Every structure is written in C-alpha cells, then in structure tokens.
Amino acid sequence: MDLKVPTIDFRNYSEWKKGSEKWNLVRDGVFKALEKYGCFEALLDGEIPKEQLYEKLKQVFNLNLDEKFEKSQNVLVGYTRDNPRTPLQERMMIGNVLTHDAVQNFSYILWPQGDPKFCDLVLGYSKKLLEFDDMVRIMVFEKLGLERYLDDHKKSGDYLLNCMKYKVGEETNVGVPPHTDKIISTILSQHDQHVNGLQILDKNGQWIDLQYSSPHSYMYFVGDCFKAFTNGRFHSSTHRVIMGNEERFSMGFTTIPKQGYIIKVPEELVDEHHPLLYKPFDGSKYLPFYMSGVRRGVVETIESFCGVSPNTQDLS
C-alpha cells in the first residue's frame, strides 16, 4: 500500500511573489503537510546537479574509504560502515557543506590532489537545497505568525551532507531501523526513483512506502528539534529504510542544531488551547542524549529530553 504524502511543485519558485495566489497556495499546502505527515515530496528544478553528483559518489564509494578516513583527524567529516544498527549502510558525512574550503579539504582526504569537479558538484547541490530549505522556512514562519524570529532561526543550524550507499542484505533487509530525525530538518533524495526503500509509519501503525514520483523529487522531513520549536504543531514522522534486491544510493541535506544555540518555543505558540510542551534546550545535546539511551537499551524521545513534566530539568 502506498501512502501518498502531498507532492508540492516548487519548480520556478524564484519567480513567485510573496502574497500572490501561487505563494499562498503552496505555503498552505506545505503547512498542512508538515502538520499531518511531518514530510512532503517536493518537485524542484532540474538544474540541481543531482545526477552528476550521484555518478561521482558511486566512484567515491569504490575507493578504499576505511584507509582514507583512518588518516583523517578532521572531526567535521566522517565515514562509517558495518554499524551494528545499520549493517547494510555505508555513510559518508561532509560537514560545513556550504563552505568551499571545507568541501575542498574533504576532497583532499579522498584524492591527494583533490577534485575540483567533486567540489563544484557538492557545493552546487547543497546551495540549491539551501535555497529550497529557506523557502520552506519562510513559508511556515509566515503561516505561524513568527516572521520576527526568522532571521534568528536561520542562525540556529549548521549544514551537513550525508551520502549513503545501501547494499543488499543476506541476514537482514533493514537499511535503517525506525527512527525520527534528531535534528532540525532533512531533505532526502535518492539516485534511482524506482528503487523503493523509504517507509513512513502512518497513524494507524502501518508501514507504507514513500515513492519518489520524479527524477527531480526530494523528500522534506521535519526533525524533532523543529517539532519542539513549533510546540508540537509539526509532526516528526517515524521512518525507516527497508532494502529489496537492488543496492540504493541516497543523500540527506541536513540542518543540525548549532552547539550552544537555545531552542525555545515562541510565546505566540502558547495559549490556553496550546499549553507549553517543551522547555528551552540546547539542540546539540539532544543526539548525545538519545545515543546514551541506545547504549542502555532505552528509546529516548524529544519528550523525555525536554518535554514539560515534573521530571524534566533545565536543559539550556
């Protein structure tokens, strides 16, 4: 069974005028999707160098990445594979992905002489997705009446590009186990739109495929930190990756909470009908909190981290 989350056409969005009929229609569609599903499919312009970057990444994953990253001491990059929780996944993380020097330094890890083409593709892809991410943020802040917080909120995150390869499993078909994203937001793409794998848990407790309807499709997901900022107005969906009989390549353009930035529910979102649900918190401390629970066999949530209850403490 397929869950048809809303598909919203963002092509040519740079031509839209704020307050126009087109703007308001798309804004309202985005808002309703994030309330109900915590995600939506976006159609973006074909000028994003998605196909070229995926072809380059296929070459990268054929390198001896264990050896490459063993020599790296840079904490803003990373490579993992054979993780017990995600044994089918190889993941390469590029930190500060909007900064040329950071991407160039990353390329030096992969190739002694670097690779200008790789850098251009990563930067071009990431900057286009940042434009889209900014558009979504402008729309939802307008709809929530929070425009005065917009500039400050844009400073709350750093940007990463997670590049993932999934192999076909013999003992398991779980590419990524069920989870909500512990960050602000993620924009997912995959190389082949016909290779299914991404699933979302619906409100009836059933796992349903999310399918990319176009080569120019991207999935926008609300993370737990954005859910908390909206006082629970937006949904942070539980999702997973289940592998079939074909390998799969995916990328996540991720906004992570900046260290030391305090996420606080705006006063405009709290009233007698919408009581405060989350205390102010440093979003960068949430993922370590969650991972400490994983090591103890406990599933921690944003509610157990900063939810308003007698047992929560000041996390700012």
DSSP 124-183: HHHHHHHHHHHHHHHHHHHHHT-GGGHHHHHTTEEEEEEEEEEPPPSS--EEEEEE--SS
pTM, full prediction: 0.94
Whole-number percent of the chain with pLDDT over 90:
80
Mean pLDDT of 115-127: 97
H or E stretch covering 33:
helix 21-36
State pLDDT tens for residues 191-247: 998 888 999 998 788 888 898 999 999 999 999 999 999 999 999 999 999 999 999
Domain 7-259, what fold? Jelly Rolls (2.60.120)
Total Cβ atoms within 10 A of residue 20:
11
Instruction: Count CA within 13 A, CB hemisphere, residue 144.
Output: 28
pLDDT at 305 over 70: yes
State pLDDT tens for residues 24-77: 999 999 999 999 999 999 999 988 999 999 999 999 999 999 888 886 655 456
| Tokens read off for 282 | 């440093």
Question: How far is Cα 290 from Cα 300, in angstroms, rounded to an integer?
Answer: 5
Beta-strand (E) ranges in the chain? Answer: 7-9, 39-43, 77-80, 89-95, 157-166, 174-179, 185-190, 198-201, 207-209, 217-222, 239-242, 248-257, 262-263, 281-282
pLDDT at 316 over 60: no
pLDDT value for 193:
87
